[in-house]
A and B are shown apart, each in its own frame.
Chain A
Amino acid sequence: MIEFDHVHKRYPERGEALSDISFALAAGEMAFLTGHSGAGKSTLLRLIGLLERPSRGRVVVDGRDLGALPRRQIPLHRRQVGMIFQDHRLLADRSVFDNVALPLQVMGYGHREIGRRVRAALDHVGLLKRERATPVALSGGEQQRVGIARAVVARPPLLLADEPTGNLDPELSREIFELFERFQYVGVTLLIATHDLSLVARMPYRIMTLADGRLVNDSGGW
């Protein structure tokens, strides 16, 4: 599903944020990406979502060589990648329903189909009753679940999460990870950046560790 081939990312003002990263993540796999703050986790995820392009090397997602993808196709690529952020990135002036509906609206779904899918996604994360609320009326854990519902509502085959539990207490974090496990169970590929090591270590999933932009440890794959 994801393939990195000698990928480098250099920021002119900061030097190499990622150096010579190579790995492959199979379809349906769930993996954690850990490492100290500034290790390059977010940068790696941004390359997959095409929010950035590598300075060198090749990134292939779902068979698409991202380097060869014309600009026009970037939006279509992003529709195939659900992204979840630590700060949720919700629209404060729209209801939970409208926030979750956004990807479907963007993709041109009809009214009824949107209603059906949004409710299914909200049901999945246990927020069906809060669809009329605005994000500020929700707790941190609930907001993150809205973010997750938005990421999965269009049923992308790949989910990326950047420190999704960074602001949550252990109990809520565990609930979120359980949610991710359920998606993995139905065949979604997940790559989750986190430094919640204590939680991650107890789960039977692949862990990739970044340090100063290098992949220093990989419990699975090659």
Chain B
Amino acid sequence: MSRVRRPSARPSELLLIWLAHHLRSARESLRRLFGMPLPTTMTVAVIGISLALPATLYVGTDNLRTMTGRWDQTAAISLFLRHEVDSDTARALAERLRARPELARVELIEREQALAEFKELGGFEGALEALDDNPLPAVLALYPGPDHATPEQLRALEQQALALPEADFARMDTLWIERLQAILALAETATLLLGALLGLGVLLIVGNTIRLEILNRRGEIEIMELVGATAAFIRRPFLYAGAWYGLLGGLCATLLVTLSATTLQGSVSRLAALYGGEFRLAGLGLGGTLAVVVTGVALGLVGSWIAVGRHLQGAEAH
């Protein structure tokens, strides 16, 4: 059997031709996508939303983690003092507590100070004016040292503090943080699950889009096979199309996430201010953006790969 001849060219020349063909395929695929703007926009938008949903959830839980992480360090017991305790007694008590080794820091918020802070929040001036007396108690914020901050130790500390004659009631900030963290862990699992489901959705969307494209171009594909196109040659533009869809979808997703974060920033700042803090929402960041875009490209490639494998058997004699 005689070998089938290939066009004679040096290896380096063949490599250049091969590269040029890839470039042409990629450009041709992109031009084709832009040639049908409406369907392309729809597909890209669906991919973008599918990727943006888990990414947004991820960013959300990530931000909450940062927030609670910050509170974690300041896990404290707020000890509300009895109404009749005057400020001298309160100061003396604070001083006594500061001497205790398990407490790293003790902060006294006196009644007048509490009232002033409360007024600053706004909206309550009328209500407070109506009262003759300052209704707010003095509060001691007890910050345990890092070696005395396990939940058990905190509870023990709370019991001791409550036993003080000046104490009215205490509130521990740890319980809700623990709950929040359990919820966060749940949310993270849910994000993963949702991400996997929507990723599957993206595969199906790209796969179906490429399938339709293959059906649309049946005639062209047959002619290419007729003149001796290899299976790889015929597949290439479709694989590039899938990668382009993924890339555009990924970029669309990062845009959506950034847009949501920017929109939410205002409300978050206001909320943080209410808690006497300041909080800047973190967006996707460079790593996150890259991850979303790379995920998009990978899903697009795999989706088109599946479609191409199922619907393009390549040149074949029946």
A residues touching B (Cβ–Cβ < 8 Å)?
Answer: 49-53, 62-65, 68-69, 71, 73-80, 83, 89-91, 102-103, 105-111, 150, 154
* Contact call A150/B227, Cβ cutoff below 8 A: yes
CA distance A71 to B315 in the complex (A): 8
* Contact call A80/B227, Cβ cutoff below 8 A: no
Among A52, A64, A103, contact of B317 (Cβ-Cβ < 8 Å): A52
Q: Provide the residues of chain B in CB contact with A63, threshold 8 Å.
A: 1-2
Q: How far is the CB of B312 from chain A (nearest CB, A)?
A: 13
CA distance A75 to B4 in the complex (A): 10
Q: How far is the CB of A169 from chain B (nearest CB, A)?
A: 26
| A64-B1, A108-B17 given; A75·B228 CB < 8 A | yes
CA distance A53 to B318 in the complex (A): 6
Q: Does B224 belong to the interface (CB within 8 Å)? A: yes
Q: Provide the residues of chain B in CB contact with A103, threshold 8 Å.
A: 227-228
* Contact call A102/B2, Cβ cutoff below 8 A: no
Nearest to A89 among chain B residues (CB) is: B223
CA distance A77 to B219 in the complex (A): 21
Q: How far is the CB of B225 from chain A (nearest CB, A)?
A: 7
* Contact call A108/B7, Cβ cutoff below 8 A: yes
Q: Provide the residues of chain A in CB contact with B225, threshold 8 Å.
A: 75, 78
Instruction: Give me the 4 closest cross-chain CB pairs, A-B, nearest first.
Output: A76-B4, A79-B228, A78-B228, A103-B227
* Contact call B7/A78, Cβ cutoff below 8 A: no
* Contact call A73/B4, Cβ cutoff below 8 A: yes
* Contact call A106/B224, Cβ cutoff below 8 A: yes
- A-B contacts, 25 of them at CB < 8 A, read A50-B317, A63-B1, A63-B2, A64-B4, A69-B1, A71-B315, A71-B317, A75-B231, A75-B233, A76-B4, A76-B6, A78-B225, A78-B226, A80-B4, A83-B226, A89-B222, A89-B223, A89-B226, A102-B223, A102-B224, A106-B227, A106-B230, A108-B18, A108-B21, A110-B13
CA distance A75 to B20 in the complex (A): 21
Nearest to A157 among chain B residues (CB) is: B5
Q: Provide the residues of chain B in CB contact with A79, threshold 8 Å.
A: 4, 227-228
Q: Provide the residues of chain A in CB contact with B13, threshold 8 Å.
A: 110
Among A62, A75, A90, A150, contact of B315 (Cβ-Cβ < 8 Å): A75
* Contact call B18/A91, Cβ cutoff below 8 A: no
Among B6, B233, B315, contact of A74 (Cβ-Cβ < 8 Å): B315
Q: Provide the residues of chain B in CB contact with A65, threshold 8 Å.
A: 1
CA distance A154 to B233 in the complex (A): 17
* Contact call B2/A107, Cβ cutoff below 8 A: no
Supply 12 further A-B pairs (C-beta < 8 A) apart from A79-B228, A83-B226: A49-B226, A53-B317, A71-B315, A75-B315, A76-B228, A79-B4, A89-B226, A91-B219, A106-B229, A107-B228, A110-B16, A150-B227
Q: Provide the residues of chain A in CB contact with B117, threshold 8 Å.
A: none
| A76-B228, A102-B223, A109-B17 given; A68·B1 CB < 8 A | yes
CA distance A205 to B71 in the complex (A): 96
Q: Provide the residues of chain A in CB contact with B4, threshold 8 Å.
A: 64, 73, 76-77, 79-80
CA distance A173 to B305 in the complex (A): 45
Residue among A52, A53, A65, A75 with the most chain B CB within 10 A?
A75
CA distance A33 to B13 in the complex (A): 42
